[in-house]
A and B are shown apart, each in its own frame.
Chain A
Amino acid sequence: MMAEAVLANRRGGLGRTERRDLWWAGPLATALGLGGFVVYATFRALYNTDFRVVPPDSAYILSPFYSPLIVLPWLPPWVSPAILILWAPGGFRLTCYYYRKAYYRAFFLDPPACAVGEARGHDYRGETRLFLFQNLHRYFLYLALIFLVILSIDVVYACIWPADGGKTFGISVGTLVLGTNVTLLTLYTFSCHSLRHLVGGNVDCFSCVAMGQLRHGLWKNVSLLNKHHMFWAWTSLFMVAFADFYVWMIASGRFTDLRIL
C-alpha cells in the first residue's frame, strides 16, 4: 500500500471549500425567500390600492402591510400608507439576530457557508462602523410590540359583521388569515433575542433582584420560544405576505371571502 501524493489545494477565495455537501443550498434558498418577499412587499407598498375590504359587504378587513392605516392627503400619491409604516416592522426584521445571519450569508456571502471561502480584498469590519445600526434592534422591538396590539385590534374588527342595520359577531376565512398572521408575528416577536435579554437575560442573580422569580420565569419562557426563532421568523414572514395577498384578492373581487360563522 504505497502512499501516493495528490495535489493539495488550500487557497482562499469566494466559494473555495473541500466540503462535498450541498452547502450552497441554504444560502440560495434564503436569497430566494428573502429576495422574493422584498420584491413582493415593495410592489404592494407602491400598489396603494386593494388593501382593505369595508362594510356593508363584509367586516372591516385591512392588509397588515397597511395597518395602521395612515392617510395624509398632502403627500404625493406614490407615498402610500404602507410606505409610512413598513419601515418599523422592516427595521425589526432587518436588525433581527436571525435575519442578520441569514442575509450576511445569502447576500453578503460573508461567509456564504461555514468553512467556505469568501471574496478577498475587502476590509471586513463586522458589526462595527457602518453596521452599528444593528444595535437599534431593541428599539424596533418596542415598535413591533405596538404593531402587535394594532394588528390584534384589526382581528377584532374582522370579527364585526354588519347585520340588519346593526352589528354581529362573525368569522370568515379572512378573519382566520389575519388571526393566524398576528399569532405567528406574536410568536416571532416574543422569541426575540433582545426581548429575552430585556425580560431577564441581563440579570445574573435572579434570587438577588426584585421580582427575580417572575423575571426568571419570563426569561425561561422567552428562551423556549427563542430556540425556534428561525422557524417563527420564516413562518411569520410567509404569513404576513399571504395575509396581504389574501386581502388583495378579496378587495379586488377576484375571490369572495367565505364566511364560516
Chain B
Amino acid sequence: MAETMTLEIHRGDTAGGELVSYTVPSTPGMVVLDAVHFVQAHHAPDLAVRWNCKAGRCGSCGAEVNGKPRLMCMDRVDKYPAGEPITIRPMKTFPVIKDLVSDVSWNFEVNKKIPAFKPRNDRPPRFSQEEADRVQEFRKCIECFLCQNVCHVLRDHQRKEEFGGPRFFVRVAALEMHPLDDGNRTGLLKQDLGIGFCNITKCCTEVCPESIHITDNAIIPLKERVVDEFYDPIKKLFRILMPQSRPEAGD
C-alpha cells in the first residue's frame, strides 16, 4: 500500500475560508503542486489553483506552504516531516479570489508608474559584457510576487498606496543601472515607490526562487542613489558647484 500524506488546503474566497484536509498518496519526486493536482483530480475538481509551466519558470504557482512563501512546483513534499500535515494557503498579502488563487493585479498597477527604458543619444549603443552582467541578474525575475507577498511593509503594514515593493525595486534597478539608459528614477523611488519604507530585513531575498540578491544588489544600491540625490549635503554642494544635466525619465 502506497504511503500517504495529509494536505490542509485553503478553500474559500473573499467571503471567508477554511482549511480542508485531504489524503494523498505520496510518490517519489512529488512536489506540492503534484499533490494539489491529485486533490483536484480525485477529491475536489472545483479546487482553484493557478499554475502553468510546472518548472519554476512562469511564477504562477506561488503559495504559502507551512507558512513559507514558495513556488509549489519547486517544493518537494519529501522534505517535510512524514506524518505531519502540509498546510497550503494562498499568498497572504493579496486578496483571495478562490482557494489558492490570489488577485495580484495591484502589482501591475505599480508597474505602470515606472518610466520605461530611455535610450541615451550621446554615445554609441555599445556596452561591455561586464556591464551587462550587473543588470542581467535583475532580468531573471519571473514575477512570482513571492517577494511582494513576504515583504512586511505590504503584508503586515498594508502600505500599498505608498510603497512599491521589492519586485519593482528590482525592475527600477534593471533600468537605472543599465549603461544605455538615460532616465532618472530616484525621485520616483523616494516618493511614489516609497523606498524609505523598506527597512532591509531581507525577507524578499530569502524567498526569491531565482536567487536574485534583491536587497544587496537592487534595494541597497538604489537607497544609496536616493541618499546621493536627496540626503548627502556634500554631493548637493558638488551639484551646485558643478551642475550636470540629468533629465528625468519621460522628459
Q: Which residues of A are in contact with B by a Cβ distance under 8 Å?
A: 1, 3-8, 10, 12, 17-20, 97, 100-101, 104-105, 110-111, 114-115, 117-118, 120, 124-128, 131-132, 135, 138, 193-194, 196-197, 201-202, 204-208, 216, 226-227
Contact (A97, B220) CB under 8 Å given A3-B20, A5-B20, A204-B179: yes
**Which of A100, A101, A138, A205 contacts B127, CB < 8 Å?**
A205
Question: B27 contacts the other chain (Cβ, under 8 Å)?
Answer: no
Contact (A128, B197) CB under 8 Å given A4-B21, A19-B68, A205-B131: yes
Q: Judging by beta carbons under 8 Å apart, are A1 and B224 in contact?
A: no
B63–chain A nearest beta-carbon distance, Å = 12
Give 6 closest A-B pairs by Cβ, nearest first: A18-B67, A126-B197, A114-B203, A205-B179, A19-B67, A197-B224
Q: Judging by beta carbons under 8 Å apart, are B87 and A18 in contact?
A: yes
Interface residues on B, range: 35 or more
Q: Judging by beta carbons under 8 Å apart, are B67 and A20 in contact?
A: yes
Chain A residues with CB under 8 A of B118: none
Q: Judging by beta carbons under 8 Å apart, are A126 and B199 in contact?
A: yes
Chain A residues with CB under 8 A of B156: 12, 111, 117-118, 120, 124
Q: Judging by beta carbons under 8 Å apart, are B224 and A111 in contact?
A: no
Chain A residues with CB under 8 A of B57: none
Cα separation A120 to B94 with both chains bound (whole Å): 18
Cα separation A20 to B64 with both chains bound (whole Å): 12
Binds A, one of B48-56, B98-106, B109-117, B227-235: B227-235
Contact (A208, B179) CB under 8 Å given A3-B44, A126-B198, A193-B216: yes
Q: Judging by beta carbons under 8 Å apart, are A206 and B18 in contact?
A: no
Most chain B Cβ neighbours within 10 Å, of A5, A126, A194, A196: A126
* Main SS class of interface, A: loop
B84–chain A nearest beta-carbon distance, Å = 8
Contact (A126, B19) CB under 8 Å given A6-B8, A193-B220, A216-B130: no
Considering the complex, give the chain B residue whose CB is closest to the CB of A219.
Answer: B134
**Which of A5, A105, A125, A196 contacts B19, CB < 8 Å?**
A5
Contact (A138, B197) CB under 8 Å given A3-B20, A204-B176, A206-B131: no
Cα separation A244 to B203 with both chains bound (whole Å): 35
Q: Judging by beta carbons under 8 Å apart, are B197 and A127 in contact?
A: yes
Considering the complex, give the chain A residue whose CB is closest to the CB of B44.
Answer: A3
Chain B residues with CB under 8 A of A97: 200, 220
